[in-house]
Structure 1
Amino acid sequence: MAASVIERFREPVVDESDPFHVDHPLDHVPGMLLFSGVLDLAVRADSARSRGRRAGRVAAGLDFTRFCELDRGTTLACRPIPGRNRAWTVAARQGGREVCAGSIAFTDDAPCVEPAGVAAPPGRARPPAAIPPSRHASADLVHRHRQENILVGEPVRRGRGAVEAAVLRPPGRDRDAWTPVEIVEAGRQFATLLEHSEHGRPLDARLLWVSLRMDVPFRLDGSVPLLLRWPVARVPGPRSRCAAVLADASTGAGLGSLAYEAYAVDQERYERTRSS
Structure 2
Amino acid sequence: MAASVIERFRELVVDESDPFYFDHPLDHVPGMLLFSGMLDLAVRADAARSRGRRAGRVVAGLDFTRFCELDRGTTLSCRPVPGRNRAWTVTARQGVREVCAGSIAFAEGAGVADGAAPANGESRTGAPPGAARRPAAIPPSRHAPAPLVHRHRPENILVGEPVRHGRGTVEAAVLRRPGEEPDDWRPVRIVEAGRQFATMLEHSHHGRPMDARLLWVSLRMDVPFRLDRSVPLMLRWPVARVAGPRSRCAVTLADASTGAGLGTLTYEAYAVDPERYERTRSS
- TM-score band by shorter chain is over 0.9
1:239 aligned onto 2:246: yes
CA contact (8 A) 2:28 2:67 kept: yes
Classify the secondary structure of the residue corresponding to 1:255.
strand
Aligned length: 276
**Where in structure 2 are the equivalents of 1:191-270 lying within 5 Å?**
191-234=198-241, 236=243, 238-270=245-277
**Range that drifts further, 105-114 or 153-162:** 105-114
**Range that drifts further, 142-151 or 233-242:** 233-242
- Cα distance in structure 2, aligned partners of 1:22 and 1:150: 13
1:117 aligned onto 2:126: no
**Where in structure 2 are the equivalents of 1:93-112 lying within 5 Å?**
93-109=93-109, 110=111, 112=113
Unaligned runs of 5+ in 2: none
- Cα distance in structure 2, aligned partners of 1:98 and 1:14: 17
Deviations 1:156-181 (A, max 9, x none): 00111100000001235452300000
The two structures have a TM-score, normalised by structure 2, of 0.93
Cα pair distance change 1:80/1:135, threshold 3 Å:
same
Cα pair distance change 1:25/1:51, threshold 3 Å:
same
What is the CA distance between 1:150 and its match in structure 2? 0.2
Residue 163 of structure 2: which of 156, 167, 175 is its match? 156
Per the alignment, residue 58 of structure 1 pairs with 58
What is the CA distance between 1:135 and its match in structure 2? 0.3
1:77 aligned onto 2:84: no
Deviations 1:164-217 (A, max 9, x none): 000001235452300000000000000000000000001000000000000000
CA contact (8 A) 2:160 2:174 kept: yes
Classify the secondary structure of the residue corresponding to 2:258.
coil
Cα pair distance change 1:124/1:266, threshold 3 Å:
closer
Cα pair distance change 1:7/1:268, threshold 3 Å:
same
Per the alignment, residue 186 of structure 1 pairs with 193
- Cα distance in structure 1, aligned partners of 2:222 and 2:215: 22
Unaligned runs of 5+ in 1: none
Letter in 2 for 1:189: Q
**Percent of matched pairs sharing the same residue:** 83
The two structures have a TM-score, normalised by structure 1, of 0.96
**Range that drifts further, 64-73 or 116-125:** 116-125
